[in-house]
Amino acid sequence: LDDAAHEIGHAVTTITGNMAYRRESGALNEGYSDVWGAAVEHFAKGGGTDSAPLASVWAIGEDISSTGGLRSMSDPKSKGDPDTYRGTNWRAATAAEGCITPSRDANDYCGVHSNSGVLNHWFYILVAGKTGTNVVGDSYNVSGIGMTKSAQIAYRLINLYLSSNSTFANARTFGIRSAEELFGVGATEVIETTNAWYAVGVGAEYGGGGGGPTACTTTISS
């Protein structure tokens, strides 16, 4: 079910953000399809607007995989993917990082499937909440806001703000804006959206000012 939603979700991404299938925009593209997969599976299996998702929702393709799923949104590192921006298992996504020419066979278009783990984990944390310290040493405490609100924020972000060469920095900046527009400046949903990005290494925690990838709001083309 989630695999089918993932593939159909690529059409949603094409019509909305139309993110190029390479580098960070490609990782966002792949991550968004996993977000659609998780959301569809949650509601199809009877999850309500406020109920906690089943554990299987966070495993992508678990029904067609003998290893418990192709990717894990709750624990990307368990599948060899990064759960933190430019952290453990991050694949080179830019020329500066060492990926000169995006290629399907040589580098998975500069890591689109692997690096999708960052967006996947952001969404998981926003929905379910999490407390811990990420691989870059940032301690975080995020209270989940549930599937419905998280999906609303994610959809508004891609539908109104992301474009062909968007980066994780852009997703963080406009994800926060989307939460503000939906729920109000300073709302709990805004705070948790911000802190979920901080948890995956993209920008500062709420009230912590700028810094990190957040400082860059200009899209970067290949």
Distance CA 193, CA 207 (A): 12
Distance CA 135, CA 89 (A): 11
Give residues with Cβ within 8 angstroms of 39, minimum separation 6: 5, 147, 151
| DSSP secondary structure of 52-79 | PPPGGGGEETTTS-TTS-SEESS-GGGG
Residue of 7, 30, 42, 205 with catalytic role: 7
* Catalytic-residue membership of 7: yes
Tell me how far CA of residue 152 lies from CA of 75, 95, 179, in angstroms.
23, 33, 9
Q: What's the farthest any 2 CA atoms get from each other in the chain?
A: 45
**Three-class DSSP category at 186:** coil
CB 170 within 8 A of CB 162: yes
Compute how many other C-beta atoms are within 10 angstroms of the C-beta atom of residue 204. 18
As to burial, measured by CB atoms within 10 angstroms (0-12 exposed, 13-18 middle, 19+ buried), residue 131 is: exposed
As given in the structure block, the two tokens for residue 164 are 């062909």
Residue of 10, 97, 113, 181 with catalytic role: 113
Residues recognised as catalytic: 7, 113
